[in-house]
């Protein structure tokens, strides 16, 4: 520790970049007081916090900007959620045009140029409105469903007509006796579950509720 403390000013004189860290960072223990421990563990501020020394005189006006390495709080309204008459909207737009890199990764940062720069999209079932079904399609869907609900299940129909299963369940609901049969089948399956699986299912539902209340 002593070596490190002594060598730090010397290294900083030699190199402006943060090379001090090549020295081994060992945990230091055995300081007798909190104050001494704090003093010993004090490190120099990061370069981004230091004033701008690009020109010696007169000193340039300089705003230290160092965005936090933390999750954005919901108190910060994202750019597109700002209403049109909000002054922040114009300010962010101006900053995006003049100095795009200055905003870093905050809520108002300029979006990347292309989709390739964005993080990878996740695959999950989501709403994609096609509006491709006609009246005849609906009638056909209903006919197939009534004829043989077992073969023409919701998923099979949604694949055939290239629409979402939710549209099928609204446009062509199954006959009541088929629904009853499906429910009984599911019930029989649930009865076969042991205590561990039942408990796990219940816990999952409870966790989702806690998530929605913001408790986890």
Partner 1 sequence: MTVKALRAIPSGGKNGLGAFILQCKKLEFHYCDWAGSSKGMNGFIKSLLPKFAAANPQVEFSISPRPGKHPVITGHYINGRTKPICVRNLSPYEILEKLELLRDASGEKLKRANKAVTSTKPSVRGIWSPYHGKGMIV
Partner 2 sequence: MKGIRPSRWGGQLLHARSCPATIPRRNFLASTVRCQSTVPAPAAEDLIEQIPEEGETLPRKLPSPLPERALQSAKLAALHSRLSLSKKIPLQTLARALVTPSADPNSSFNNANLAFLGSTIINYHVAEYITCKWPRLPMAIHYEALRAFSGPESLAQISRRWGVEAAAAPGEEVDPGLLQWASNSSALVGTRWGGYVRAETDRKHSFYRRGMSSRVVLDNDFGDAVDAGSVKDAHQHHQDTSFSSFVQAVVGAIYSHSGREAAKDFVESHILSRQVDLSSLFEFQLPTRELAMLCAREGFEPPLARLESETGRHSRTPVYVVGIYSGKEKLGEGNAPSLDFARRKACMNALKSWYLYSPGNKVRVPSDMMEEGAKPWKAPHIDIGEVI
What's the CA gap between 104 and 65, in Å, rounded? 9
What's the CA gap between 83 and 107, in Å, rounded? 15
Write each residue from 103 to 142 as x if it is in contact with partner 2 (CB under 8 A), else as -, in one continuous string.
Answer: ----x---xx--x--xxxxx-x-xxx--------------
Question: Closest distance between partner 1 and the C-beta of residue 46, in Å?
Answer: 6
27 near partner 1, rule: CB under 8 A: no
Number of CB atoms found within 10 A of residue 146's CB: 14
Residues between 94 and 123 that touch partner 1 (CB under 8 A) = 104-105
18 near partner 1, rule: CB under 8 A: yes
Question: Closest distance between partner 2 and the C-beta of residue 84, in Å?
Answer: 10
80 near partner 2, rule: CB under 8 A: yes
71 near partner 1, rule: CB under 8 A: yes
> What phi, psi does 39 have (nearest 5°)?
-65, -40
Burial of 8 (0-12, 13-18, 19+ CB in 10 A): middle
Residue with tokens 């990878």: 120
79 near partner 2, rule: CB under 8 A: yes
CA angle 79/121/216 to nearest 5° reads 75
Residue with tokens 């795009």: 100
3-state secondary structure at position 86: coil
98 binds, among partner 2, partner 1, none (CB under 5 to 8 A by kind): none
Q: Please report, as ranges, the residues that interact with partner 2 according to CB under 8 A.
A: 71-72, 74-83, 85-86, 107, 111-112, 115, 118-122, 124, 126-128, 207-208, 211-214, 216
Which residues of this chain interact with partner 1, rule CB under 8 A? 18, 21, 25, 34, 46, 67-73, 104-105, 213
């Amino acid at each position: 520790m002593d070596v490190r403390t002594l060598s730090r000013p010397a290294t900083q004189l030699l190199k402006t970049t943060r090379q001090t860290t090549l020295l081994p960072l060992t945990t230091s223990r055995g300081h007798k007081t909190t104050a001494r421990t704090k003093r010993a563990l004090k490190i120099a501020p990061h370069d981004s916090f230091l004033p701008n020394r690009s020109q010696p005189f007169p000193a340039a006006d300089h705003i230290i900007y160092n965005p936090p390495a933390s999750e954005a709080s919901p108190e910060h309204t994202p750019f597109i959620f700002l209403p049109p008459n909000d002054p922040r909207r114009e300010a962010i737009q101006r900053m995006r045009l003049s100095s795009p890199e200055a905003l870093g990764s905050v809520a108002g940062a300029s979006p990347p140029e292309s989709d390739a720069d964005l993080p990878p999209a996740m695959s999950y079932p989501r709403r994609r409105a096609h509006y491709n079904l006609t009246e005849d399609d609906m009638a056909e869907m209903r006919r197939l469903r009534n004829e043989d609900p077992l073969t023409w299940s919701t998923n099979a129909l949604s694949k055939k007509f290239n629409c979402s299963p939710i549209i099928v369940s609204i446009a062509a609901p199954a006959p009541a006796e088929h629904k009853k049969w499906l429910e009984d089948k599911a019930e029989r399956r649930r009865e076969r579950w042991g205590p561990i699986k039942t408990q796990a299912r219940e816990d999952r539902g409870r966790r989702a509720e806690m998530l929605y209340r913001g408790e986890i």
